[in-house]
Structure 1
């Protein structure tokens, strides 16, 4: 009888513990759900971190769409969607046809420059420059996620940075910049306009220069966007070059063809007056969008500086409010400068699903965050048994062709990238592993070869073997950790037993310099047979990109 009482008491106590645990779990889940639904008063700036230069934006109903330059990354022209100008998701790419363009031989600073995204009468229009590989073209789509048409190349459209403007009568006008004339001062550029006949798919009628910039000695007038706001036309443009002197200027006119008069508040946005030590630099290349309630916002590019004045992420997409005073745009009114926080736009809070930071390669396709450098002439990767296989090919990261390399954008100054790889070879020319890549003349690689792991740095085109680690195992875990201006590389058999490879390195190899100028940094996996034919492959079990605080 006593044993029965003890047993019943134990069962009763056990039930109370279970109920208590269930209550605690319920409280935790409810608190977490409540925490996730707290709407912040301010948001982080930039709104698209990492490699996202030359942003262009348009609104259709309550939906906002954003596109940025992609240079020689493929697929190109990433399209992002948001409903609150804060939470963005990648919904597709406009340039997906590998036969539509040829990036071979192009430097990493060439390729797709400065797109403009517009919507008119049920159709999305995207116009851009293929610098060094074709000139200016536009594409169309009914759905911004795709599919997009093949490029419509525009003959006799000199210069770069094309944009489209649809006037109230439905006619379409092309604006762009050019410098093929005798200049009156150094770096003088002209912003010009001509009608684009969308039925004939060509420029027609008169061509007219609208401006050479906002001042008598303005340099690099480019990135023009034209708007009709109430009873006047607004011409917004970038000036000063995409570096410390970058700026946004504005001109207005009473009629479409001008004359365009510089605004009295020019430049309407810049940080060049704050000095080179200011943490956010090179603001420019802005595009405007109006919310359904009539508020105006601008997206524009900028650079964030880390220790030593380095810029490892390249140009990113920032946001600020814009108001109008006597018809002239005031950027970030009451504040003027751009910081790392801004007041949240008063739009319905619409969070999106976060992208998986780890790829287990269980599916038969890469997630849309992955890209190749230039366009592969034939597939070099495949999936099998939960692994991703890279074929070793003669092409190298140094070559101006497509190597066996898969990259994803780096979004933070503080991150780690880790992969597990199986690879063996008897040849000294075969290597596979991890890569941090900015250009063919600026990258780090942590690769496994015949009997060792090798850390290599390429800075301004000069290749240096930093360190080697003896390694005869077939499998290895490779990791890099970025903290501000420093990088640390590791290798080992497990996450709990990793060996540091070489000394702590600087991010200078992937930061802005005279060859790393316009694009941004990617991290990923890479395999090569260094100029020789090979049938070997490297197998990757998983890859994790993780941002740190």
Structure 2
């Protein structure tokens, strides 16, 4: 019996040590600092909506004219988010997106989960209006869009009542005689058949907003808690006057009584110099532990500019006297936030350099409008673009351009570019792009290397130099309000072509609109020939300051 007893003791010790090691590993993953950094999704990620399924959270954002449409993220701790796909990635589904104006396209999606099925409902302005897609798996594939008959508003959302009925919330005013002030809007509700996408019965107006002259009431979300239906909306427009207001009713069709402490979140009373501004368009979520949080959009100001457009932030919610309080004791968004009481689940960082080693582009990259991608291939030489006759300086174009979101107020980006069968009028290089009227191009054209600045529609060559035909490495550094454009050969030393270039053209203050700044690679020609190839061996993006 003694050998057997010794074996048991050894096994017991081994199990105990293993448990300790596992416990130590688990503790090692918990951050020492209980605080995290807002925004949770930096860069052009506006109009967030969130849903929880079990221990997993899923979040979506607007994408406007960029494609694939509606990025989808997942997280287990509400801090670390990983992109897992897009709601619409088949360009055949969104052919009309190719004709939309700048800052039109896909607005304000909301994500839902009901009876084993995920729903994402959104608006495609100038390209079919309101639609939804479904999937049993948030990773996809997602269904073909189902277009909703009977609504031409924006910012739709769904709600399933306790009696099993499905409801659709839309924006608009049912009786114009009831509103007389400038820029009004309202929220209404109607039953919907989610098999056919057909609205049923009559519309019921729920609110025009909290104030007697509320402007641009939109972004409705409906929640059922403790016997009340809570209607949360955005008001004031998605800029400095943005705000979140909330109403409640014991009946889903109303009447909805406003919270006397509205707006429950806004920064419009903090002055024009506040760092975080334009807060609004919130969506609340309850964790599996019973805690409440909200995601919302806001902007950040750097050097008197808003360079990154609308971003996704997180706030804690505490319920008091039957109403939600955002960031109790502070009532405003902050850069530092306490980490939620959830399993800390960090994700693998995106590599600084993309060597294009797989056959598919990273989910970070998008193209302008819903193009088919026969002009884009990935092979041994990296990313290869066939230049199209599609100017970056004109609206409604579908250029050979692959870009990602700029996520830092200070950053650097670079690439190695070579060309095949290019003629002297053909271009290939880097681009910082906000819209067709506001962007920067750094490119080779024949034996010339040029920097072109397009500011409010005025395009100017601000620097150029002679180069050889060899591959060349191009780099752009954003040091705050100024840009530097740098180049070198494979073996040569870096040279600054031009520096101290005003970086404001892609900011909200200059460019305006609902979209955000992008950076990446492009190729262009005035004479199409499919044998022409721009080869980008790699692409690097690195934030050099706070995110």
**Offset of 1:532 from its aligned partner?**
5.2
Alignment correspondent of 1:463: 459
Q: Is the 8 A contact 1:234 1:251 kept in 2?
A: yes
Alignment correspondent of 2:231: 235
Q: Is the 8 A contact 1:109 1:516 kept in 2?
A: no
Q: 2 CA distance for matches of 1:246 and 1:513?
A: 16
> Does 1:40 pair with 2:36?
no
Alignment correspondent of 1:345: 340
Residues 10-42 of structure 1: per-residue CA shift (max 9 Å, x gap): xxxxxxxxxxxxxxxxxxxxx999976534300
The runs of at least 4 consecutive aligned structure 1 residues that moved more than 4 Å come to 31-37, 531-534
Q: Is the 8 A contact 1:265 1:328 kept in 2?
A: no
Q: 2 CA distance for matches of 1:124 and 1:419?
A: 38
Q: 2 CA distance for matches of 1:372 and 1:392?
A: 14
Q: 2 CA distance for matches of 1:228 and 1:481?
A: 49
Q: 2 CA distance for matches of 1:139 and 1:33?
A: 38
Number of equivalent positions: 518
Q: 2 CA distance for matches of 1:150 and 1:266?
A: 39
Long gaps (5+) in structure 1:
1-30
1:442-461 paired onto structure 2 within 5 Å: 442-461=438-457
Q: Is the 8 A contact 1:439 1:516 kept in 2?
A: no
Partner of 1:216, secondary structure, is coil
Alignment correspondent of 2:146: 152
Alignment correspondent of 1:301: 297
Q: 1 CA distance for matches of 2:368 and 2:132?
A: 22
Q: 2 CA distance for matches of 1:378 and 1:332?
A: 45
Partner of 1:273, secondary structure, is coil
> Does 1:82 pair with 2:62?
no
Q: 2 CA distance for matches of 1:120 and 1:461?
A: 47
Q: 2:513 aligns with which of 508, 517, 520?
A: 517
Partner of 2:384, secondary structure, is strand
Which stretch shifts more, 221-230 or 454-463?
Answer: 454-463
Q: 2:282 aligns with which of 270, 273, 286?
A: 286
Alignment correspondent of 1:109: 103
Which stretch shifts more, 109-118 or 176-185?
Answer: 176-185
**Offset of 1:385 from its aligned partner?**
2.0
Change (3 A) 1:442 1:185: same
> Does 1:384 pair with 2:379?
yes
Q: 1:61 aligns with which of 32, 37, 54?
A: 54
1:469-488 paired onto structure 2 within 5 Å: 469-488=465-484
Change (3 A) 1:278 1:208: same
**Offset of 1:198 from its aligned partner?**
1.6
Q: 2:188 aligns with which of 173, 189, 192?
A: 192
Alignment correspondent of 1:365: 360
Q: 2 CA distance for matches of 1:144 and 1:511?
A: 33
Q: 1:402 aligns with which of 398, 412, 418?
A: 398
Q: Is the 8 A contact 1:424 1:450 kept in 2?
A: no
Alignment correspondent of 1:211: 207
Partner of 2:475, secondary structure, is strand
Q: Is the 8 A contact 2:106 2:123 kept in 1?
A: yes
Q: 2 CA distance for matches of 1:290 and 1:382?
A: 43
Change (3 A) 1:196 1:444: same
Residues 486-539 of structure 1: per-residue CA shift (max 9 Å, x gap): 221111114872211223122211111465321111111000004655631111
Q: Is the 8 A contact 2:169 2:189 kept in 1?
A: yes
Report the RMSD for the aligned CA atoms in angstroms.
1.9
Q: Is the 8 A contact 1:159 1:179 kept in 2?
A: no
Residues 271-318 of structure 1: per-residue CA shift (max 9 Å, x gap): 0000111011100000000001111100000001110x2111110000
**Offset of 1:426 from its aligned partner?**
6.3
Alignment correspondent of 2:250: 254
**Offset of 1:107 from its aligned partner?**
2.3
**Offset of 1:56 from its aligned partner?**
0.2
Q: 1 CA distance for matches of 2:475 and 2:311?
A: 25
**Offset of 1:424 from its aligned partner?**
5.9
Q: 2:308 aligns with which of 310, 313, 316?
A: 313
